[in-house]
């Protein structure tokens, strides 16, 4: 079971590496990793387990965050009145995106960053992605809202990018031209 002390924190070089593509069939270790990163975010959304194991809640987790520099991440997002999204994405790619941008009005956080970094993080409002599942089957999804933001946050982790790299250092809350703000309830 992944716990917070398995999650590397900013300053660790693995978070600034471009992660390696994965080949199929996955090794048993890679399959176990996929299960464990998805299980972490599911566990982290359970109040009892959060308390019991001192977990930080998350909706995504990327392999580099547990010190494995491979192009794998998991998302588990359940929002009221919306389709739940629970995926492991392997060798993920954004194949098209809206011109329109969005940003979380609350700003972003990261399980690998133990501090608040304020500011708007521009993201594409809508994205079409493709990735492979653990069996090597390719899938495509069209994402918007929080799933789209989370996907871009996790894909950044596979490219050595941290969310605060996107924040304007001089004017962190500068209006992003044409962007549609996303309010999390």
Binding residues for Ni ion (CB under 5 A): 110
Q: Please name the residues in contact with 9: beta carbons below 8 A apart, sequence gap of 6 or more.
A: 112, 113, 114
Q: Binds 154, which of Ni ion, ligand K2U, none (CB < 5 to 8 A, cut-off by type)?
A: ligand K2U
| Helix (H/G/I), strand (E/B), else coil: 128 | strand
Partner from Ni ion, ligand K2U, none binding residue 59, C-beta < 5-8 Å depending on class: ligand K2U
Q: Using the rule CB under 6 A, which residue among 15, 154, 162, 167 binds ligand K2U?
A: 154
- The nearer residue to Ni ion, 59 or 110, going by C-beta atoms, is 110
Q: Does 110 bind ligand K2U (CB under 6 A)?
A: yes
Q: Which of 66, 64, 75 is nearest to 18 (CA)?
A: 64
Tell me: is residue 166 an annotated ligand-binding position: no
- Total binding residues toward ligand K2U, as defined by CB under 6 A: 18
In b/e form, how buried is each residue of 45-80, taking b as 16+ CB within 10 angstroms?
beeeeeeeeebeebbbbbbbbbebbbbbbbbbbeee
Check binding of 111 to ligand K2U (CB under 6 A): yes
The count of other CB atoms within 10 Å of the CB of residue 27 is 10
In angstroms, give the least distance from the CB of 61 to ligand K2U: 6
Could you give the dihedral angle defined by the CA atoms of residues 158, 163, 167 and 172, in that order, rounded to the nearest 10 degrees? 180
Please report whether residue 149 would count as binding ligand K2U according to CB under 6 A. Answer: yes
SS3 state of residue 70? strand
Nearest distance from residue 25's CB to ligand K2U, in Å? 27
Q: Which two tokens stand for residue 78?
A: 């359940």
Is 97 annotated as a binding-site member?
Answer: no
Q: Which is nearer to Ni ion, 3 or 52 (CB)?
A: 3
* Residue 58 contacts ligand K2U per CB under 6 A: yes
Segment interacting with ligand K2U (CB under 6 A) among 52-60, 81-89, 92-100, 133-141: 52-60
Q: Is the CB of residue 12 less than 8 Å from the CB of residue 5?
A: no
Name the binding residues: 110, 153, 157
């Amino acid at each position: 079971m992944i716990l917070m002390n398995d999650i590397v924190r900013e300053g660790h070089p693995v978070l600034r590496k471009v992660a390696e593509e994965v080949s199929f069939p996955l090794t048993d270790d890679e399959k176990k990793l996929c299960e464990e990163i998805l299980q972490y975010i599911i566990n982290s959304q359970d109040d009892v387990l959060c308390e019991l194991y001192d977990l930080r809640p998350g909706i995504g987790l990327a392999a580099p965050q547990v010190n494995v520099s491979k192009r794998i991440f998991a998302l588990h997002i359940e929002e009221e009145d919306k389709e739940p999204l629970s995926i492991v994405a392997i060798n993920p790619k954004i194949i098209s995106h809206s011109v329109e941008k969005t940003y979380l009005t609350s700003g972003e956080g990261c399980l690998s960053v133990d501090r608040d970094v304020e500011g708007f993080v521009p993201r594409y409002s809508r994205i079409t992605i493709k990735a492979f599942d653990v069996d090597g089957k390719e899938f495509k999804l069209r994402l918007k809202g929080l799933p789209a933001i989370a996907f871009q946050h996790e894909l950044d982790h596979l490219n050595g990018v941290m969310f605060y790299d996107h924040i304007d250092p001089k004017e962190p809350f500068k209006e992003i031209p044409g962007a549609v703000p996303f309010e999390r309830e």
